[in-house]
A and B are shown apart, each in its own frame.
Chain A
Amino acid sequence: MNDRFDPDIEAQVSAVFERAPLVAAPAALRDAVATDRAERVAPAHAARRDAIPRPLAALVGIAAAIVVVAGTAAYFATRPTDTGGHGGQPAVATATSPDGLKLSMKVARTQVAAGEVIEATATLVYDGPNASITVGGSGADGVVYFGVRQLDGALRIDPASRESCGSYTFKRGAEASFPFQKSGGYLNEDTPQDRFAQQYFSTKQLMLPAGRWEVYAELMYGVRECGGQQRDVKAPVTVTVGSGPAPSPTPVPSSAPASRSKTTRDGIMITISSPHSTYAAGEPIPLTGSIRYDGPDESLTAYGSGMGIVTFGFRRLGSDVEYLPAVTADCGPHALQRGTPNPVKFVNGYSPSGQTGDDVFIREHDGAAGLTSLTLPAGSWEVFVETDYATQPCAAGVSFVKERATIQLTIVDAAKAPVSIEPVPTTAPTPPATKQPAADLRGTQTVTTSDGIEMTISTPKTTYAPDEAITVTTTTRYAGPDGIFKLTRSGSGLVAFEVKQLDGTLTSGYAQTADCRPDTLVRGAVTTIPFGKSGGYANDGSVSDNFRKQYLSQPELVLPAGRWEIVAHLLYGDASCSVATRDEVASVIVDVR
């Protein structure tokens, strides 16, 4: 294979990298990796370490407007000291940066009732060797940020900051006080996290749902100036929120429907569907199953349990324990006519294949109560229909065909959910998108990934004035072979935007948070993605940096004169977050003059 390109340059690069040493990993990194393994790495662990590209723009209510600051961040292990605080006692946690800035987080009480305001304040004092210290910060209050994290669940609010960065000086010994202030963002998605975030940001005061929470202050700044080496220390206090009044039995609002089909080698298609993908714990889950023969013959006789050759089952996501119904082993015949769907009824009376803490809940809410619909405890669940049949009467040596169609449901604990949950009108199944006729092909482009995800970006026209806001419309639609498509994406969203100057060198870049969220696309559902800015700048005074700073400073898309490409990046990965992030782009070109 010839992979030689430019021998001269290659030789230079090769010579440079021959001098690049193998650098031993620091002991702290080895320890951290070993600790991760010892803890068996809880799923949220990596994200909990606050991936460095954190959202910095004022994000509340704005989808996917994420900004990161260029440069590096040092996460160092100044272990915070938590003085505890029991019952209704106050508590203080402190953490000190290597530069001598001491952050303290105080809460008035560590135990509050649901709906009760949590009084929290941070203080900052410089205790270093100099008379004062000057740093750069972008928080709403300069360098101090606040956030919350559910300790007995996955809800969290990470702080955000302003797009601009200011200079702050702290004199030695002078204490500055910072009342708890909310910042952060959400994505207008129908997920428990986003509903929590919307509820969180609906009031200025800090109130949290029942459970154990980490309420923290975080000190983040650039050493000496904006863009300097980043410091990041956190002072967390644990607060327990009591259950309070009984939660409303109101079910979780409508979410995208869940549906999945699988076809066996004999042409038998099994389908499972549910009108929603999110339910409250204890809420009956409507399930529909069907079996249909679509093979080459007029009919097919399948042999299996006399209770039916299709059964429902369910399993907590990540668990090996499956709940399967008891079936008879009589191997009865079941005649299937080609093209005729046969509904499958949900049958209760499940027993687990192993020990699990869900048993009691399921017995109480399903089998023992004699219900005819499924109810599940909070968490992520796979619910499936499974067919297990033979095409010949059962006898020794006859092989059985087993196939399973699975949907994923999210069950929210009503007691821990926000008090009031409103439906979020985001993704709804609609007929397939019809591409708008474009008089000028530069004004629209569609890209389709190999997985069947279509993304279309368009602008209503292709010429704009220098002070004119450019409207960009972007939609995504899954048009693949399955009913749903599971993926993972950044918490910032599935699509990120950037602009590139075609007759110059300016680019905005783009940024996304480094978390990895599961997401599901329903076949045919069209989602409109609002244009959002993201990216970063270094305050280095360069032309390109000034452009990025200007670009990020205003919500509208207004560009200087020139020819520009507006690019939408469709960024997603597989369900395990372990393979390459796909980056498919669609773009439009506009002239500004």
Chain B
Amino acid sequence: MTQDGTGTRVTCLPMAAPAIVVVIPAHNEASRLPAVLRELGEHTGDLVRATVVVDDGSRDDTAEVARKAGAVVTRHALNLGKGSALLTGCELALRLGAGIIVTMDADGQHRPADLPALVAPLIAGDADVVLGARRFGDQMPALFRFGNRLLSGCLRAFYGLEVADSQSGYRALTASAFKAVRWSSRGYAVESEMLVHMARARLRCVEVPIPAIYHERYKGTQPLDGLMIVGQLVRWRLS
């Protein structure tokens, strides 16, 4: 790791480093997405081979702004949900030759500056999956904190999985790990299902601390989604 001109820590890749492709599922994020893509370019430089934006049936100009920002864009003609958009993006990333796939949100919740730290354990060969773990401070709304802890507790109880932040969407995984955790969830259960498959496949997982940033309380996983995910965890455990 070295410091670049802006003080950001940048990972120096070995010559044969796997290609990194960032996957961003986006739904009506035309206003926030350009800043995310701009920051991604500024903070990662040559580290990232391509950024894939999956416009999940947006009604605004999400696809257009992403295209203008230089991302590889694809579009769902209908809104299918985060899980489906991520799956399409990851499959496209594999077609682009990705050795490492990084998933992040389109609304600026995840700092591109943290990406080098996120992929470092994969590049070093120390992990198959890296989770960006948010700090459960005042930045995270109390209800989200409770829900996250509940779901993490379920994962621990049902699968023996010890993760601090089971619902973080900022993740990095190797191409082979993606094939092992390939999910069927269409909505917000995708993060949990990924972990379930990860536990079953006995993949190595590392957590990297990231800050919790919330712009919009009413987007993302809501209490009812959380309850549905608990139900799904029980169903997967029994299946």
A and B: bona fide binding partners: no
Interface residues of A (CB under 8 A from B): none
